[in-house]
Amino acid sequence: ILLLCTFGIASPQPSCGESWGTLRGRFVYDGEPPVAQKANVNKDTDVCGKSPLVVEDLLVDPSGGVANIGIWLVSKKVSEHPDYAGVPESVVVLDNKNCRFEPYLGVVRVGQTLRMRNSDPVTHNVNGGSFRKNTPFNDNLPPEASVDKVFQGEERLGVPLSCGSHGWMKSYLLVKETPYITVSREDGTFEIPNLPAGETLEFKTWHAPSGYITEPS
């Protein structure tokens, strides 16, 4: 069971004639924190066996913090901070490194560039066959190769990505319009800055094996 703790808007700070606040919180696991299981590394072991790889579906730190939970704003017609105007020029990187995807749960905005990169000395494959609003893909990535993607539509759920060459490798991608989105850190904490203060805001939270988290406490 996942619980949401210390969830609230920090004191708003004036900016550009309006007030803005930061949402901070932490996702924690209710009960004894589970131990991550070792991944079944059964190919290219001379390279992939060098790192202690684990199944990343549910990563809980010793204090109970849960990593890789996405949280984003779903309220419509809210004020948007000037820093978020337009499509971000920054490039989001999904790296194949040490025979795992980094990050496990990535975030990219509609119209922003996602760069899929291979930093390993072995060939990887990135299979994104479950997109609904965007074109599915299945790209091979030789060592040092990269390929860019730009998504034109928002995906409702996190889209699974996998490596056809290495069965233990998988990750997820959140493709959203809103700039107000983030992913919980290793200790379960998160923050979303520059939210409009004084407005009613609704958020959704999503975790790969759990789906939407609808009843936090």
Q: What is the pLDDT of residue 216?
A: 58
Q: What is the pLDDT of residue 215?
A: 66
Q: What is the pLDDT of residue 198?
A: 87
Q: What is the pLDDT of residue 210?
A: 87
The position carrying tokens 């520059």 is 194
Choose among 199, 195, 192, 190: nearest CA to 26. 190
Mean pLDDT by 10 residues, the chain (217 residues): 47 56 94 92 96 95 96 93 91 98 98 98 96 96 98 96 96 97 97 93 93 72
Q: What is the pLDDT of residue 209?
A: 86
CB-CB contact of 25 with 7 (8 Å): yes
Q: What is the pLDDT of residue 183?
A: 98
CB-CB contact of 66 with 36 (8 Å): no
